[in-house]
Homo-oligomer: A and B are copies of this chain.
Amino acid sequence: MAQAGKESLTRTAMCGRLSESDIGREVVLSGWVQRRRDLGGVIFLDLRDRSGIVQVVSSPEFGEAAFAVADLVRNEYVISVRGDVVARDPDTVNPNLETGTIEVRAREVELLNRSKPTPFPIEDGIDVDESVRLRFRYLDLRRPEMQRTFLLRHRAMQLVRRFLDRHGFMEIETPMLTRRTPEGARDYLVPSRVHPGQFYALPQSPQLFKQLLMVSGFERYFQIVRCFRDEDLRADRQPEFTQIDIEMSFMPLAEFQELMERMMAELFQELLGVTVPLPFRRIPYDEAMLRYGSDKPDLRFGLEIRDVTETVKTCGFRVFQSAVNSGGAVRGLNAKGCGGFSRKEIDDLGALAGQLGAKGLAWMVITDEGVKSPIAKFFTDEELAAIRRELGAEAGDLLIFVADRPEICAEVLGQLRLHLGRRLGLIDDGSFAFAWITDFPLFSYDEEEKRWVAEHHPFTMPRWEDVDLMERDPGRVRAQAYDMVLNGYEIGGGSLRIYRREIQEAMFRTLGFSMEEAREKFGFLLEAFEYGAPPHGGMAFGFDRVVMLMAGKSSIRECIAFPKTASASCLLTGAPSEISEEQWRELHIRPDGVTARQ
Residues of A that sit less than 8 Å from B by CB: 4, 6-7, 10-11, 30-32, 48-50, 76-78, 80, 112-116, 118, 136-139, 141-142, 147, 150-151, 153-154, 157-158, 161-162, 165, 170-180, 186, 188-202, 208-209, 212-213, 215-220, 226, 228, 230, 239-240, 242, 249-252, 255, 464, 499-500, 523-524, 528, 530-535, 560-562, 564, 567-570, 572-579, 583-597
Q: With A174-B561, A570-B175, A597-B592 as given contacts, are A579 and B50 in contact (CB-CB < 8 Å)?
A: no
Let me know if B579 and A189 touch, CB within 8 A. Answer: yes
Chain B residue at minimal CB-CB distance from A575: B179
Partner of A113, one of B50, B172, B174, B532: B532
Can you spell out 7 A-B residue pairs with CB atoms less than 8 angstroms apart?
A: A154-B170, A176-B202, A179-B570, A188-B200, A195-B568, A588-B592, A589-B592
Q: With A138-B215, A199-B578, A532-B115 as given contacts, are A151 and B170 in contact (CB-CB < 8 Å)?
A: yes
Bound Cα distance from A80 to B252, whole angstroms: 13
Let me know if B562 and A180 touch, CB within 8 A. Answer: no
By a CB distance below 8 angstroms, the chain B residues around A138 are 212-213, 215-216, 528, 531
Let me know if A198 and B596 touch, CB within 8 A. Answer: no
Q: With A50-B217, A142-B217, A533-B113 as given contacts, are A250 and B176 in contact (CB-CB < 8 Å)?
A: no
Q: With A78-B534, A173-B242 as given contacts, are A139 and B585 in contact (CB-CB < 8 Å)?
A: no
Partner of A195, one of B154, B158, B576: B576
User: In angstroms, how far is the closest chain B Cβ from the Cβ of A201?
Assistant: 7
User: Chain B CB within 10 Å — which of A195, A200, A219, A597 has the most?
Assistant: A200
User: In angstroms, how far is the closest chain B Cβ from the Cβ of A591?
Assistant: 5
Let me know if A524 and B573 touch, CB within 8 A. Answer: yes
Let me know if A561 and B115 touch, CB within 8 A. Answer: no
Partner of A188, one of B115, B190, B534: B190
Q: With A177-B575, A500-B113, A591-B590 as given contacts, are A532 and B172 in contact (CB-CB < 8 Å)?
A: no
State how many copies of this chain the complex holds: 2
Let me know if A150 and B137 touch, CB within 8 A. Answer: no
User: In angstroms, how far is the closest chain B Cβ from the Cβ of A271?
Assistant: 14
14 additional A-B pairs beyond A113-B499, A179-B577, beta carbons within 8 Å, are: A50-B217, A78-B533, A115-B530, A142-B217, A172-B561, A173-B226, A176-B240, A177-B240, A180-B579, A186-B193, A192-B568, A198-B577, A199-B578, A589-B589
User: In angstroms, how far is the closest chain B Cβ from the Cβ of A181?
Assistant: 11
Bound Cα distance from A114 to B534, whole angstroms: 10
User: In angstroms, how far is the closest chain B Cβ from the Cβ of A132?
Assistant: 13
Chain B residue at minimal CB-CB distance from A157: B171
Let me know if A4 and B500 touch, CB within 8 A. Answer: yes
User: In angstroms, how far is the closest chain B Cβ from the Cβ of A578?
Assistant: 6
Q: Which 7 A-B pairs have the closest CB atoms?
A: A115-B532, A141-B216, A179-B575, A198-B576, A179-B573, A192-B576, A154-B170
User: In angstroms, how far is the closest chain B Cβ from the Cβ of A80?
Assistant: 8
User: In angstroms, how far is the closest chain B Cβ from the Cβ of A520?
Assistant: 11
User: In angstroms, how far is the closest chain B Cβ from the Cβ of A105?
Assistant: 21
User: In angstroms, how far is the closest chain B Cβ from the Cβ of A389?
Assistant: 43
User: In angstroms, how far is the closest chain B Cβ from the Cβ of A431?
Assistant: 28
By a CB distance below 8 angstroms, the chain B residues around A216 are 137-139, 141-142
Chain B residue at minimal CB-CB distance from A158: B165
Let me know if B114 and A532 touch, CB within 8 A. Answer: yes
Bound Cα distance from A564 to B7, whole angstroms: 46
Bound Cα distance from A78 to B11, whole angstroms: 60
User: Chain B CB within 10 Å — which of A32, A78, A228, A242 has the most?
Assistant: A78
User: In angstroms, how far is the closest chain B Cβ from the Cβ of A440?
Assistant: 19
By a CB distance below 8 angstroms, the chain B residues around A49 are 217, 219, 250
